[in-house]
A and B are shown apart, each in its own frame.
Chain A
Amino acid sequence: MKRRSFLKGALAGAGVTALGPEAFAAGQPVDNRKISSIPFPQKRPMITYSDRPPLLESPRYVFAHPVTPNDMFFVRWHMPDIPTHIDLGTFRIKVNGLVERELSLSVDQLKHDFEPVEVYAVLQCGGNSRSAFKPTAGGIQWGSGAMGCARWKGVRLRDILERAGLKKEAEWVGFNGSETAAYYETPNFVRELHLEEIGDHVIVAYEMNGEDLPYLNGYPVRLVIPGTYSDSWVKMLSNLTVTSDYQHLFFMDKAYRIPDNDCECQKPGEHVPTKPITKMNVKSFIGYPTNGETLYHNSYTTIRGVAFDYGAGIKAVMLSFDDGKTWQEATLGDDLGRYAFRAFTYDFKPKKYGKQTIMAKAINRAGEEQPLAKDIKWNHGGYKFNGIDVVTVEVV
């Protein structure tokens, strides 16, 4: 009986196992998931994976533009209880631990007592595009819209730490937000940064695209760490604690980690040493046209999309209309800074009827380029997918 059910199981997985380890790779992420008819506060209707905690994804067409509107910006929380009310009169960001002076700052003080800085930066979930992995990796099966780019305004984290005055033994800063678990014993969603990681680009932001942060994106203040995945961009930031030693934390020690080897990959079921996901790899995504759209023969269509990386900057975006045999260079849009989405456009005149694939590949200034999805190796969390994007349209 046991043996039979095992064989049955093995047979069901034969499609992957029979092909050997290289089959534990990736395809294209699920696309065109249904947009919910239910809008969340301050959001237009989005692809909705969960209401508690809220998990919302942007549909593909949002990425036809280099700046993602606040009301279409993706949302991902970890804990069920997000405060239902924030009173700016009493809300404080506390700084404590190994500091000369403990701070308790209001949002108003952040806005007026420090030099304001602005940065365009991409926020992307480490599990963005996870649904591309075969076999199914653990976690929410995101399509590719767990990302966005905004103009963040706030205060340099360094300036805040300087005001508090770091003690000599200070090495780490722990960041805690205001979301809480259902059970008292559940660890908070705390992240830590080593002081060496805190350059001038890391900010405590109170504005997003010229408005207050939307509630679901971390109102009133969140951490912004350009170039890194969003798991470290703590939302509704309320407490900074400076320590000499690294505090062991679930969300850094267990979650959001990938295999610590050259390919950052493993076989399903294989346990390997891991490291945190940090810097984002080079990626591009087509915002228009979307899958299944109709284009007209011999008639120009402007293909639009975005590309980004960890901050080296985008050198080129190449498009292919013949399944990757030849590549054409797209025109890059304005440079909004090295951490921003770089828009690209390409005027395309379809020359043949029927199904037409459009592929997009970004290359950064460090010479790194996106691999084909099939060349991306599997990891248990389905993190860091950056396969070449493919959209299929119909030419009539």
Chain B
Amino acid sequence: MSLFYFLAFLSIFFAVMVILTKNPVHSVLYLVITFFTFTVHYILLNAQFLAVVNFIVYMGAIMVLFLFVLMLLNLNKESEPMKSVLVKVIGVIAGMCLLVTVAGSMRVIEISNPLVLKNPDIGLVENLGKVLFNEFLLPFELSSILLLTAMIGAVLLAKKEPNKS
């Protein structure tokens, strides 16, 4: 039980560090640690498939993409634009208002009893694959088209325009 609270503390701490560090590269590295704690959360929830996918997609693919773009743009601490203190304070107040609203709306929900899991191995690859390829077959195929479109769009966007130079 205390493992969840320890992990939650670690996640929140590293998530705060992501938005507070000045150096963008450090920010990306803190985000990697945050995603790793999320992976451990998935393991704790007995959702092995999501844990593996989270590990591969977020920590493997997306973070490498972020780091690659950061290195490509050659940014560092000196060129990092910072907002004024007033905007920061207003942003923090707005975010805290959102948190209070969400947490306050939670209070009308009654405290849930720790329930008995109906199906403990629901997150295994076998069960999830059956659901994915039976009920969600059409969205699965559509997401492949979405990924293809995103890939073509990214290549077209990042290509240099030949008539400019």
> Do A and B originate from a single complex?
no
Binding site for A on B (CB under 8 A): none
